[in-house]
Amino acid sequence: MTIKALFIAIIFSINSYALELSLKLRSGDILLQPLHCWACNLIEAETESEFSHIGVVTRVVNGDVFVGEAFTKVREVTLDEFNSKTQKGLKLKVLRPYFISDDLSKNFDSKFKGLPYDSGYLWNDNEIYCSELLYKLFESLNMITPKALPMTFTHNREYWFKYFKGNIPDGIIGISPGDFDNEKLFKFIGHI
């Protein structure tokens, strides 16, 4: 077997595994996502995580996977659209809660879908950011979630100062995508 043929076989098997995994996704699966943007880099540095965004599989219909996310607003997109934002060369990490409520998609639709995105990362019910969405959705369904804690913005302080226009919300309760990257609370399923 030539090097080129071996390389093609490896790429095909990796892509086949990712496709196979995406076909096994279920409602409630957590999708941790590395994004590439200025604020994303700040979030990843602050939380010491490679993930700056998070979504949740809201429903699977005839093999089509839909993901709920807070990105510009709380919305539902296809898995392909969600994954298209993943930083080039990196993958989504898939975690599965040990208990998933049957009412997840109904609760997402009735309580969260359409809410505006909260770029100030404030803990309120009028606007919501990505990890706050998962926390509040899971909590409303009595599903396990990491603990929300007072946030700090100590890494790259001068950039946070610029991001928040001088009013950094230190001490406000919050949660990050990295807080969900906890394999004691959730089962690791794979990468896609």
Distances (CA, A) of 49 to 16, 32, 59, 104: 27, 10, 27, 26
What is the tens place of the pLDDT at every residue in 17-32? 444 454 599 999 999 9
40-44, 65-69, 98-102: the lowest-pLDDT one: 40-44
Q: Where are the domains of the chain?
A: 26-191
**Rounded CA gap, 120 and 67, in Å?**
23
Q: Quick one: pLDDT band at residue 183, thresholds 50, 70, 90?
A: confident
**pLDDT at res. 122:** 92
Distances (CA, A) of 46 to 30, 43, 93, 145: 21, 5, 19, 20
pLDDT average, residue stretch 115-134? 95
What is the CATH architecture of 26-191?
Alpha-Beta Complex (3.90)
At 30, the amino acid letter reads I
Residue 13: is its pLDDT beyond 50?
Answer: no
Residue 1: is its pLDDT beyond 70?
Answer: no
| H helix intervals, the chain | 3-23, 38-47, 79-83, 104-107, 130-140, 157-163, 177-180
Nearest to 116 by CA among 85, 75, 148, 76: 75
Q: Determine the number of helices (DSSP H) and then strands (DSSP E) in the chain.
A: 7, 8
**Rounded CA gap, 75 and 116, in Å?**
9
At 161, the amino acid letter reads F
